[in-house]
Amino acid sequence: MKSAWPSPLVRNFLGCLLPVGRLLVVFVLLATPIGVVAQSLLAAEGLGLPVESLDARSRALGGVGLGLTGSYLLDRDPAAGAGLSIAAATATLQSSTTTLTAGGTVGYTRFPVLAISYPYRGSVFSVRMGSFLDQEWEGKSTQTLEVGGDDVGLEDVFTSTGSVGQVSLGWARTILESAAVGVTLGSYVGTMERVFTRALDPEDVGIDVQHFEAGGRLRASGVIVGAGMTWDPWPLLHVSNSISWSDDLSFSPTGKESGEKGSYRIPLELRGGGTVTLTSWLALHFGLTFADWSDTGADLKEGMTRGGTWSYGGGLEWSGITLLGRPIPIRLGARHRDLPFYSDGTPASERTLSGGIGLNLVDVGDQPLARIEMGIEQGNREAGAVSEDLLRMVVTVRISSG
Amino acid sequence: MSRSGGAYKTVGRDMQGQRSLRTRRRWVQILSVFLAASGCTDAVPTSDDGDLIPVDAVTVEVHLPFASFARDLRSFSGFGSPADVPVTVLAHQWEGELESRALMRFDSLPDWIAVRLPGSSSTSVHADSMYQPVSGKVILRLDTLGLGVESFELEAGAVLTPWDSETANWEVASDTVGAVSPSPWPEPGGGPVRSLTSATWSPVDGDSLVLDIDSLTVTEWAEDDRSDRGLRVRGLTKGTRLRVMGVDLRVLARSSINPDTLVEVTAELDRGTVIYSPSPETSLDVLQIGGAPADRTTFRMELPSSVDAGVEVCAKVHCPLELRADRILFASLVLHTHTTLSPGFAPASSIAVEVRPVLSPERLPRSPLSAPVNPGAVGLAPEFFSSETETLYEIPMTGYLRTLLQPDLGGGVAPSPTLTLLVRPEPSGLEVLSFYGVGTQLEPYLRLILTVSDGVPLP
């Protein structure tokens, strides 16, 4: 049934947005989770730096990606989209800079969450793409070696590029007036290229010297299954839980390349979160995740994983401001997360403070048709001698079409 | 007190400055976030901590003796002609042995000269094809090949025997295709000649020497159908050598239309050559390349599948080392210079050595060659061949060797394994380059710098 727009103004506005929606679909089709990465030298440890596929609202509220009020497509909350009654697409753009221990600054722009949902006969089906592990880093070493009795200057460079993402299909359905369930089934995707290069100094050897290069490209695979439930036990409390189980994350050489295959156990991840409505314009959001990476440690070098890792945070959402009759929610939050891999034998963690606003451009009843969420997050990662300052800017655009 | 106050003020300013710096840094950070957002660009985080690199690579140097990588070592002679040398050398008992003379043949004189009619005030000129040579002069531009000699005596003579610039040598005046047998000079060394003039040249007089030529000789040289026309120049000062950098013939001609008019016409060098004696000495223990006609040394590369890196190296890596293209970071053919066997042929200037693949080894010595494996080779200084101390000379060939082992690096086409060593340009002069030969203590060898690793491990 075709939706009835509340006014010609809204219809015209959405008419303008539809091309944007199409563009978003193109983005979704073109962008692969391979590009969904973050950047840190901690990506050199273990399997890389875990990257959370969070939207701008979750980031701004210090959340862990579930338990938000309203109908949303959240990568980590399979049941969150159950209330959507019209097709929607959402994309999150994340731009970040990280100031490394040595003082250098690195930056990137990525799409950490892309999702499309389509309601059909009371259920909501979705396609989601999210980030998982960042493996982009580079190590350099300059030294002098004795080669054939002469001192030869050389530079070793190890470059790791690529990342692991997740693509999944989701199903969600409201089972009670106050409860919904959802499941996802997906796979790891993405490639990782690890290349070692040794370059000798031509002044020490000769002009015709060439580089030594070793390495190759690995493709990630593995099945992921997720399940979740949302529940409103009281009108002022909304809670969500989800669980994510994963088959081994496998790396195998791509194409005709030969090389070693690797398989790593990925832990079960438990998530919980919710929102308490404190007043008509103020809400408290909180979230928590846990995963035990001990088994993964057995597949890696000894002493590389820290075991149980927690991620928690929370924030406040104030909806007391309106602009041209539209609410402009303002959010503040704080978050902590343990990183699963040690850095030089030291546990690593990330702490951030965040803020953001939302622009509810068009809503029809409780169905958001066009929204822009913005979040900014500042914090640091620390692990022994490693200390990185980070600043993230996240924008989520969501467009629905009846 | 005032000093303390001043110090406090300074601290206050510093703190303000730090706050300001922090604020500025934050704004720069925020700005860079937006810039990054607009460009979707990356900057990979880089660490200087070598311990992060999970690869253990070993770099070693290996020397392969000539016999372990080369086969069919052969020398070939006769490439090019003395007529092709860029600079002619005149030598007289140079190093007690070398005698070299220049033979030159000039272009014919112009068919006509332009003159005015007698008594005419008009500016128009008329072609005079009946003009008569009156006298001539040969202008030689000379250069010494070292210090120590103050003057050089030279003699010019008109060649009386038909000769061919491409095939003439000390003994033979002509050895052209189709001839029954080579035609020798009546007197070895381009003789006999009709003596024209002799003159003394000193470098302090300038770089040119003028030799007067009589009208009879000029008239003979003007007849371009005469194969015996030509000028022979030789040095008469013992133990010297000179370079002839250029030559031309200037003829004073009298007009047949206006006999009062003398016109100078110029004839440039048509063909020339240098004839010399004796030939350079050879030895099986010495690799010689160069000379005119030039010598080349050819061999076929047969690289072993693995190399023995020696006890010290094998302590670091698994031996024997498989020789693979990706492991070769540097490869060079190493030669040691040898004193020139015939001192008269020792290089007078830098000469470069090229190594070029032989495209059709079965057609040697006349096979076409491929592009050099060491383009832009640097010349070898003459002193390397004149002293008793040998000099190590490396010819880099990394790219060639890698492609030989792994043809797809060169677009799937394997280069020829047969290589030839030659001088550039060829011939570059009478000088030969000498290197210690195979079987000697300082025989050629292949220097390889290899890097070996067990590959990039999984995380």
Contact A196 B57 (CB under 8 A): yes
pLDDT greater than 90 at residue B33:
no
Alpha-carbon torsion angle A6, A12, A13, A16, nearest 10: 140
- The predicted pLDDT at position B15 comes to 46
Alpha-carbon torsion (A16, A18, A21, A22), positive or negative = negative
Mutation pick from A97, A193, A203, A346 vs chain B, by most beta carbons of B within 10 Å, is A97
Count contacts between A and B (CB, < 8 Å): 192
Give A259 or B253, the one with higher predicted confidence.
B253
Cβ(B330)–Cβ(A208) below 8 Å: yes
Confidence of residue B5 (pLDDT cuts 50, 70, 90): very low
In whole angstroms, what is the distance from residue B232 CA to residue B90 CA?
A: 11
Maximum mean pLDDT: which of A205-219, B164-178, B352-366: B352-366
Residue B158 pLDDT: 94
CB contact under 8 A, A139 and B327: no
The pLDDT of residue A84: 87
| Confidence category of residue B175, pLDDT binned at 50, 70, 90 | confident
Nearest to A148 among B40, B61, B394 (CB): B61
- Enter the pTM of the model: 0.78
Judging contacts by C-beta atoms under 8 Å, the chain B residues touching residue A206 are 330, 332, 394, 396
Per-residue pLDDT of B211-222, as tens digits, reads 999 988 988 888
Q: Which of residues 265-324 of A touch B (CB under 8 A)?
A: 300
Q: What is the reported pLDDT for B261?
A: 84
Residue type (1 letter), A329 = P
**pLDDT (average), residues A164-187:** 95
- Residue in A109, A205, A395 closest to B36 by CB: A109
Q: What is the 3-state secondary structure (H, E, C) of chain A?
A: CCCCCCCHHHHHHHHHHHHHHHHHHHHHHHCCHHHCCCCCHHHHCCCCEECCCCCHHHHHCCCCCCCCCCCCCECCECCHHHHCCCEEEEEEEEEEEEECCCCCEEEEEEEEEEEEEEEECCEEEEEEEEEEEECCEEEEEEEEEEECCEEEEEEEEEEEEEEEEEEEEEEEEEEECCEEEEEEEEEEECEEEEEEEEEECHHHHCCCCCCEEEEEEEEEECEEEEEEEEEEEECCEEEEEEEEEECCEEEEECCCCCCCCEEECCCCEEEEEEEEEEECCEEEEEEEEEEECHHHHHHCCCCCECCEEEEEEEEEEECCCEECCEECCEEEEEEEEEEEEEECCEEEEEEEEEEEEEEEEEEECCEEEEEEEEEEEEEEEEECCEEEEEEEEEEEEEEEEC
Which of A67-71, B20-24, B120-124, B363-367 has the highest average model confidence (pLDDT)? B363-367
Structure confidence at residue B23 as a pLDDT band (50, 70, 90): low
B165 or B20: whose pLDDT is higher?
A: B165
Quick check: B33 and A138 CB within 8 A?
no
Q: List the single residue in B with minimal CA-CA distance to A40.
A: B45
* CB-CB under 8 Å, B329 with A211: yes
Q: Which of A374, A328, A274, A319 is nearest to A64 (CA)?
A: A274
Q: Residue A129's closest CA among A161, A157, A170?
A: A170
Mean pLDDT for the stretch of residues B377-392? 86
**How sure is the predictor about B42, in pLDDT bands with cuts at 50, 70 and 90?**
low
CA dihedral (B64, B70, B74, B76) positive or negative: negative
Say yes or no for a CB contact (<8 Å) between A97 and B32: yes
State CA A218 to chain mean position distance.
Answer: 21
Tell me the pairing of strands B183-184 and A282-292: unpaired
* Mean pLDDT (chain A, rounded): 85
At residue B233 the predicted structure's pLDDT band, cuts being 50, 70 and 90, is very high
Residue A232 is encoded by which pair of tokens?
């409103």
Output the pLDDT for position A39.
63
Residues in A closer than 8 angstroms to B399, CB to CB, are 208, 210
Tell me the shortest Cα–Cα distance from B39 to chain A, in angstroms: 8
pLDDT, tens only, A31-73: 433 333 346 778 888 888 888 899 999 999 998 889 998 878 8
Candidates B203, B231, B204, B200; CA nearest to B136 is: B231
Provide CB contacts within 8 A for A213, sequence distance 6+: A195, A196, A197, A198, B326
Give the model confidence (pLDDT) of A220-241 as tens digits.
Answer: 999 999 999 999 999 999 999 9
Are B45 and A262 in contact (CB < 8 Å)?
no
Instruction: Say how far residue A360 (Cα) sits from the centre of its chain.
Output: 23
pLDDT of residue A358: 94
- Mean pLDDT over A329-358 rounds to 94
Chain B nearest C-alpha distance from A128 (Å): 21
Q: Residue B25: its pLDDT value, please? A: 56
ipTM of the complex: 0.74
More confident of the two residues B24 and A291? A291
Chain A CB contacts of B329 below 8 Å: 198, 200, 205, 209-212
Strands A123-134 and A49-50: antiparallel
pLDDT (tens digit per residue) in B297-326: 999 999 999 998 777 778 777 888 899 999
Q: Average pLDDT in the B329-341 region?
A: 95
Across B69-87, average pLDDT: 93
Choose from B25, B323, B329 for mutation: most chain A CBs within 10 A.
Answer: B329
Q: Has residue B54 got a pLDDT over 60?
A: yes
Mean pLDDT of B398-402: 95
Per-residue pLDDT averaged across A350-379, rounded?
89
Give A110's pLDDT tier (boundaries 50, 70, 90): confident
Q: Which region among A52-56, A255-259, B191-195, B302-306 has the lowest average model confidence (pLDDT)?
A: A255-259
Task: Establish if A169 touches chain B: CB-CB under 8 angstroms.
Answer: no
CA dist., res. A156 & res. A141, Å (int)? 5
Residue to substitute from A37, A49, A109, A161, interface B, most B β-carbons within 10 A: A109
Residue B4 has pLDDT above 50, yes or no: no
Percent of chain B with pLDDT over 70: 89
Q: In percent, how much of chain A has pLDDT > 70? A: 88
Q: Which of B40-44, B286-290, B397-401 has the lowest mean pLDDT?
A: B40-44
* pLDDT of residue B172 exceeding 60: yes
Which chain A residue has the Cα nearest residue B451?
A212
A159 interface with B at CB cutoff 8 Å: yes
Q: Is B44 left (phi over 0), alpha (psi -120 to 50) or beta?
A: beta
With 0-12 / 13-18 / 19 or more C-beta atoms within 10 angstroms meaning exposed / middle / buried, residue B411 is exposed
Assign 3-class secondary structure to chain B.
CHHHHHHHHHHHHHHHHHHHHHHHHHHHHHHHHHHHHHHCCCCCCEECCHHHCCCCEEEEEEEEEHHHHEEEEEEEEEECCHHHCCCEEEEEEECCCEEEEEEEEECCCCCCEEECCCCCCCCCCEEECCCEEEEEEEEEEEEECCCCCCCEEEEEEEECCCCCCCCCCCCEEECCCCCCCCEECCECCCECEEEEEEEEECHHHCCEEEEEECHHHHHHHHCCCCCCCCEEEEECCCCEEEEEEEEEEEEEEECCCCCCCEEEEEEEEEEEEEEEECCCCCCCCEEEEECCCEEEEEEEECCCCEECCHHHHHCCCCCCEECCHHHEEEEEEEEEECCCCCHHHCCCCCEEEEEEEECCHHHCCCCCECCCCCCCCCEECHHHHCCCCCCEEEEECHHHHHHHHCHHHHCCCCCCCEEEEEEECCCCCCCEEEEECCCCCCCCEEEEEEEEECCCCCC
Task: Give the nearest chain A residue to B62 (CA atoms).
Answer: A148
Contact between B70 and A156 under an 8 Å Cβ cutoff? The reply is: no
User: In this predicted structure, what is the pLDDT of residue A38?
Assistant: 42
Chain A window 322-351: which residues touch B at a Cβ cutoff of 8 Å?
Answer: 344
> Which A-chain residues 84-103 have CB contacts (< 8 A) with chain B?
93, 95-100, 102
Residue B421 — pLDDT band, cuts 50, 70, 90? very high
In chain B, which residue's Cα lies nearest the Cα of A386?
A: B47
Please give the pLDDT value at position B334. 95
> In this prediction, what percent of chain B has a pLDDT beyond 90?
56
Specify the pLDDT at position B126. Answer: 86
CB-CB under 8 Å, B457 with A208: no
Q: Greater confidence, B228 or A32?
A: B228
Instruction: Collect all residues of chain B within an 8 Å Cβ-Cβ radius of residue A381.
Output: none
What is the per-residue pLDDT for B34? 46
| Lowest-confidence region among A131-135, A309-313, B22-26, B404-408 | B22-26
Interatomic CA distance for residues A214 and A119, integer angstroms: 49
pLDDT at A66: 92
A153 touches chain B (CB under 8 A): no
What is the nearest CA distance from B41 to chain A, expressed in angstroms?
A: 5
Residue A12 is predicted with a pLDDT of: 38
Distance from CA of residue A310 to its chain's centroid?
A: 16
Alpha-carbon span B219 to B210, nearest angstrom = 19
Taking residues B274-297, report their average pLDDT.
Answer: 94
Higher pLDDT, B34 or A247: A247
